[in-house]
Amino acid sequence: MQSAAIQDERKLLTWSGNLEDFRPPATPAAAAWLAEPGLLTERLRACCKGRQGLTVVSEREAPLAAAESALLQAPGNAAFVREIELTCDGRPWVFAQSLIPLATLARHRWLSTLGDAALGERLAAVPGLKRGPLEFARLTPGVALFHRALRDTVNPPAELWARRSWFAIDGHRLLVQEVFLPGALR
């Protein structure tokens, strides 16, 4: 029954390829992070006065919503889900969730053994990697990704901003969703 609830919550989330579709618009700080064309780990290193870090939050198998399965062109409806937090000087700035269909994982086993390595940096080194367009979303309470990103937060904000993009390795897709936490938008 829990998987049906997860899929219902995912349906509440609307993604758009155009940041200007949102009213009210993203703040300038949020828009700058959302539109960042490069690796977030590199931008985070440049912003941190001290130390940039990565913490693995969760790694598990979970169902894919129908829209995610279609976007990933994945047979089946399950994925390996890796969730991490990127931190700046010990404070969480970005929550990232990677959805790796089991068919993609079967061909690229290294995707499940990243440990504390950043997926983006590993993907950047893959020859012939293809990246889909960035899509953006405003996250609010009631959306599963909002609650996953703020799972330990006592006083959550009214909204968060996220972006996502698919990547293809030899034609096998995975999806990376990045949520910008309040620490990054100060």
Instruction: Note the pLDDT tens digit of each residue in 33-57.
Output: 999 988 888 888 888 877 889 999 9
Amino acid 4: pLDDT: 46
CA neighbor of 86 nearest in space, from 131, 46, 59, 55? 55
For the residues of 1-63, what is the DSSP string, one character each? Answer: -HHHHHHHHHHT---BS-GGG-SSPPPHHHHHHHT--S-HHHHHHHH-SS-EEEEEEEEEEEE
Element (H, E) at 149: helix 144-149
Q: For the chain, what are the domain ranges? A: 2-185
- Residue 105 pLDDT more than 50? yes
CA 64, chain centre distance (Å): 14
Position 159: which residue type? E
- Residue 10 pLDDT more than 50? no
Position 18: which residue type? N
Per-residue pLDDT, averaged over 89-97, amounts to 93
To the question of domain 2-185 being in CATH 3.40.50.280, the answer is no
Mean pLDDT score across all residues of the chain: 89
pTM of the model: 0.90
Q: Contact, 138 vs 161, CB < 8 A? A: yes
Distance CA 150, CA 162 (A): 13
User: Token pair 């440049």 is at which residue?
Assistant: 46
Radius of gyration, alpha carbons of the chain: 16
Q: Contact, 5 vs 64, CB < 8 A? A: no
| CA torsion angle 164 11 30 55 (round to 10) | -60
Question: Tell me: the pLDDT tens digits for 56-81?
Answer: 999 999 999 989 999 999 888 899 99
